Amino acid sequence: MKLIQIFIFTICCSLTVSAARPMVKPVGYEVETIEIPKGITLGVGGMAFMDRTTMLICTREGEVWKYNTKDGQWQLYADGLHESLGLWVDHKTSDVYVMQRPELTRLVDTNKDGKADLYQSINAGWGLTDNYHEYTFGPVRDSKGNFYGTLNTSLSWPGWAGSDKWDKARVHDSKMGRAAKYRGWSFQITPKGEFVPYSLGMRSP
């Protein structure tokens, strides 16, 4: 018991010392405040740069926004997506790959007006239900052109299982589970667009 008390005291002292330290900006970094357009709720799910002056942001609300770091102007690049939680830019073609809840999507501005007009589904090989916790994260890409993403497990609150609320009896009360295919997995999408289950046994990867 005495060892536990000493351990707790040490942790509390460490937290107190950490809280007392002033925040210091790391060397080489700058902090800049960016004004968001009125009436817009970003809910940022991912960020990437098209070039040195063009930043892209995807949102949980299903939009992709472009921000010009020179003049501070915002432009809607894509919308109508399903909870976009990550993006990757091909700097050779300027194509944008967005991870939606149900699929990996390629966005292309074919007429060069600054807004995507082609939405191409690259792969939608995993399962999806109406459970709110089935987030899909990614993508990252390796040197061979493979994309990678991760799939959250489903979640149930007390009283949900067996009710009319989410996935009846498929996820037990207050438990994480798999109400759809490959939940709790990471996956690979090949350059040919093939879905490959990659690793498993995770909760919210």
Domain end position, chosen among 65, 92, 124 = 124
Q: How many residues does the chain have?
A: 205
**In terms of domains, do 114 and 145 share one?**
no
33, part of any domain: no
**In terms of domains, do 145 and 94 share one?**
no
**In terms of domains, do 169 and 186 share one?**
yes
Alpha-carbon torsion, ordered 42, 87, 140, 175, to 10 deg = 50
Q: What is the mean pLDDT of residues 65-81?
A: 96
Q: What confidence tier does 13 reach under pLDDT thresholds 50, 70, 90?
A: low
**In terms of domains, do 93 and 104 share one?**
yes
Residue 176: both structure tokens together: 């994480």
Domain end position, chosen among 92, 124, 156 = 124
22, part of any domain: no
Tell me the residue range of the domain where 93 lies: 40-124
Q: Report pLDDT for 168.
A: 45
**In terms of domains, do 132 and 76 share one?**
no
Q: Report pLDDT for 169.
A: 40
Domain end position, chosen among 124, 140, 170 = 124
CA distance 84 to 140: 14
**In terms of domains, do 131 and 187 share one?**
yes
**In terms of domains, do 118 and 54 share one?**
yes
Q: What is the CATH number of the domain that holds 106?
A: 2.40.10
153, part of any domain: yes
Q: What is the pLDDT of residues 153-183, one digit of tens each?
A: 887 666 555 555 554 445 555 566 667 889 8
23, part of any domain: no
Of the candidates 104, 121, 12, the residue with the CA atom closest to the CA atom of residue 58: 104
**In terms of domains, do 130 and 119 share one?**
no
50, part of any domain: yes
**In terms of domains, do 154 and 205 share one?**
yes
**In terms of domains, do 107 and 139 share one?**
no
**In terms of domains, do 166 and 195 share one?**
yes
CA distance 94 to 64: 14
Q: What is the mean pLDDT of residues 28-46?
A: 89
**In terms of domains, do 83 and 45 share one?**
yes
- Give how many domains the chain has, as a whole number: 2
**Cβ proximity of 72 and 35 under 8 Å:** yes
Q: What is the pLDDT of residues 79-121, one digit of tens each?
A: 999 999 999 999 999 999 999 999 999 999 999 999 999 999 9
**Cβ proximity of 147 and 188 under 8 Å:** yes
Q: Report pLDDT for 128.
A: 86
